Structure 1
Amino acid sequence: MSERNGLRYGLIGLLVLVLLGGLAFCVSRPAGGNPPSATTAAAATASAPVGLQSLAEAAGKAPTHRSLQIQRWQTAEGARVLFVEAHELPMFDLRLTLAAGSSQDGDTPGLAMLTNAMLNEGVPGKDTSAIAAGFEDLGADFSNGSYRDMAVAGLRSLSDKTKRDAALQLFDQVVGQPTFPEDALARIKNQLLAGFEYQKQNPGKLAGNELFKRLYGNHPYAHSSDGNERSVPAFTSAQLRAFHQKAYAAGNTVIALVGDLSRAEAEAIAASVSKALPKGAALPPMPAPETPKAGVSHIEFPSKQTHLLLAQLGITRNDPDYAALYLGNQILGGGGFGTRLMDQVREKRGLTYGVYSGFTGMQARGPFTISLQTRAELSEGTLKLVQDIVRDYLKSGPTQKELDDAKRELAGSFPLSTASNADIVGQLGAIGFYDLPTDYLENFLAQVQALDVEKVKAAMQRHLDPDAFVIVTAGPTVPQKPLPPPTDKPAEQPLGVPEH
Structure 2
Amino acid sequence: AVADVKSVIEAYKKSGLPADLVEVAKQREVAQAEFERNSISGLASTWSQALAVEHRTPDEDLNGLKAVTLDDVNRVLRTYYDQTTATVAISTPKEAAGSAFGGRQGEDNTVIPTEHTGLPAFAKRVLAELNVPESQIHPTLQTLPNGIKLIVVPSTITHTAVVRGEILGSAGIQDPPGKEGIDGIVDGLFQYGTTSYDRIAYQTELDKIAANVSAGKSFGLDVLSSSFDRGIALLADDELHPAFPQQAFDIVKRQTVGQLTGTVKSPDYKAQRALADALYPAGDPSRRTATPESAGAVTLDDVKAYYASTYRPDLTTIVVVGDVTPEHARTAIESSFGAWKADGPTPNVFPPAVPANKPTQAVIPATGRIQAEVTLGETIPLSYNDPDYPVLRLANTALSGGFYASLLFHDLRELHGYVYTVGSNVTGGRNRGTFTVDYGADPQNVSRAARLVVDDLTALQKKPLPADRLTRAKALVLGELPIRKESYEGLASQLIAYASTGRALDQDTREARAALAATPERVRAVMAKWIRPNGFVRIVVGPAGK
TM exceeding 0.5: yes
Name the CA shift for 1:184/1:377 in 2 (closer, same or farther; >3 Å). Answer: farther
Paired residue for 1:317, among 381, 384, 387? 384
- The 8 Å contact of residues 330 and 406 in structure 1, kept in 2 or not, is answered as yes
Paired AA for residue 141 in structure 2 = R
**1:279 partnered with 2:279:** no
Q: TM-score, normalised on structure 2?
A: 0.72
**1:309 Cα offset (Å):** 1.2
Matching of residues 59-458 of structure 1 within 5 Å = 59=126, 60=129, 62=131, 64=133, 66-103=135-172, 104-107=174-177, 108-143=179-214, 151-160=217-226, 163-200=227-264, 202-217=266-281, 218-224=283-289, 227-280=290-343, 281-286=345-350, 287-302=352-367, 303-314=369-380, 315-458=382-525
Deviations 1:319-366 (A, max 9, x none): 322211111110112444322222222222333332111112223313
Q: Distance in 2 between matches of 1:368 and 1:248?
A: 31
> Separation in 2 of the partners of 1:451 and 1:187?
54
Deviations 1:448-496 (Å, cap 9, x if unpaired)?
2111111122222222111221222222347x4xxxxxxxxxxxxxxxx
**1:194 CA displacement:** 3.4
Other structure's SS at 1:337 match: helix
Q: Please state whether the residue corresponding to 2:484 is helix, strand or coil.
A: helix
CA offset at residue 201 of structure 1?
5.6
Cα gap change, 1:19/1:120 in structure 2, threshold over 3 Å: closer, same or farther?
Answer: closer
Q: 2: CA distance between counterparts of 1:198 and 1:129?
A: 31
In structure 2, the CA distance between the partners of 1:249 and 1:345, relative to structure 1 (3 Å rule), is same
RMSD, aligned CA: 3.0
CA contact (8 A) 1:332 1:393 kept: no
Unmatched tracts of structure 2, length 5 or more: 1-45, 61-121
Deviation at 1:397, TM superposition (A): 4.0
Inter-CA distance 427–16: structure 2 relative to 1 (3 Å threshold): closer
Contact 1:79 1:253 in 2 (8 A): yes
Deviation at 1:267, TM superposition (A): 1.3
1:250 Cα offset (Å): 0.9
- SS in structure 2 opposite 1:271? helix
Give the Cα–Cα distance (whole angstroms) in 2 for the partners of residues 13 and 89 of structure 1: 19
In 2, the alpha carbon distance for the partners of 1:134 and 1:366 equals 44
Deviates more, 1:425-434 or 1:468-477: 468-477
* CA offset digits 1:34-89 (Å, max 9, x no partner): xxxxxxxxxxxxxxxxxxxxx79985475736422222221111122222222222
2:515 and 2:484 map into 1 onto residues whose CA distance is 15
Which residue of structure 2 lines up, in the alignment, with residue 27 of structure 1?
none
After superposition, the Cα gap between the structure-2 partners of 1:356 and 1:210, relative to the gap in structure 1 and judged at 3 Å, is: same
The answer (yes or no) to whether the contact 1:98–1:248 under 8 Å persists in 2 is: yes
Whole-Å separation in 1 of the counterparts to 2:418 and 2:124 = 41
Aligned residues of 1:297 and 1:472 also touching (Cα < 8 A): yes
| CA distance in structure 1 between the partners assigned to 2:413 and 2:447 by the alignment | 16
C-alpha change, 1:249 and 1:56, in structure 2 (3 Å) is closer
What is the one-letter code of the residue matched to 2:222? Answer: R
Answer whether contact 1:351 1:382 (CA < 8 A) is retained.
yes
In structure 2, C-alpha distance between the alignment counterparts of 1:154 and 1:14, rounded to whole Å: 29
The alignment partner of 1:120 has SS state of helix
Identity %: 23
With over 3 angstroms needed to count, the CA separation of the structure-2 counterparts of 1:272 and 1:18, relative to structure 1, is closer
TM-aligned CA deviation for residue 170 of structure 1 = 1.2
Matched residues, number: 429
Q: Identify unmatched segments of 5+ residues in structure 1.
A: 1-9, 25-54, 146-150, 481-500
**In 2: Cα distance, 1:349 partner to 1:183 partner:** 58
Secondary structure in 2 matching 1:360: strand
How far has the Cα of 1:177 moved from its partner?
1.1
Residue in 1 aligned with 2:97?
Answer: none
1:415-454, Cα deviation, whole Å (9 max, x unpaired): 1111222111112111211111243244232222111111
* Structure 1 residues 302-324: Cα deviation after superposition (integer angstroms, max 9, x where no partner): 33122211111133332322211
Query: In the superposition, relative to structure 1, how do residues 292 and 174 fare at CA in structure 2: closer, same or farther (>3 Å)?
Result: same
Q: Which moved more, 1:93-102 or 1:304-313?
A: 93-102
Q: In structure 2, what is the Cα distance between the partners aligned to 1:81 and 1:282?
A: 17
- The one-letter code matched in structure 1 to 2:278 is R
Asked if structure 2 preserves the Cα contact closer than 8 Å seen for 1:305 and 1:373, the reply is yes
CA 1:57 to 1:323, structure 2 compared with 1: closer, same or farther past 3 Å? closer
Distance 1:136 1:390, change over 3 A: farther
CA change 1:231–1:412 in 2 (3 A) is same
Q: CA deviation at 1:393?
A: 2.6
Report the AA paired with residue 207 of structure 1: A
| Equivalent-residue separation in structure 2 for 1:65 and 1:129 (angstroms) | 47
Give the structure-1-normalised TM-score.
0.78
Equivalent-residue separation in structure 2 for 1:85 and 1:406 (angstroms): 33
Confirm or deny: 8 A CA contact 2:132 2:513 kept in the other structure: no
1:293 Cα deviation after fit: 2.2
Alpha-carbon distance in structure 2 between the residues aligned to 1:231 and 1:56: 56
2-structure distance, mates of 1:109, 1:93: 32
> 1:20 & 1:295 partners in 2: Cα distance?
61
2:542 matches 1:471: no
For 1:1-12, list aligned pairs within 5 A.
none
Change (3 A) 1:57 1:106: same
Partner residue, 2:78: none
Verify the 8 A CA contact 1:285 1:363 in the aligned structure 2. no
1:219: how far off? Answer: 1.3
Instruction: Give the C-alpha shift of residue 171 in structure 1.
Output: 0.5
Alignment check: 8 A CA contact 1:117 1:144 kept: no
Q: Distance in 2 between matches of 1:241 and 1:285?
A: 20
In 1, the alpha carbon distance for the partners of 2:515 and 2:123 equals 25
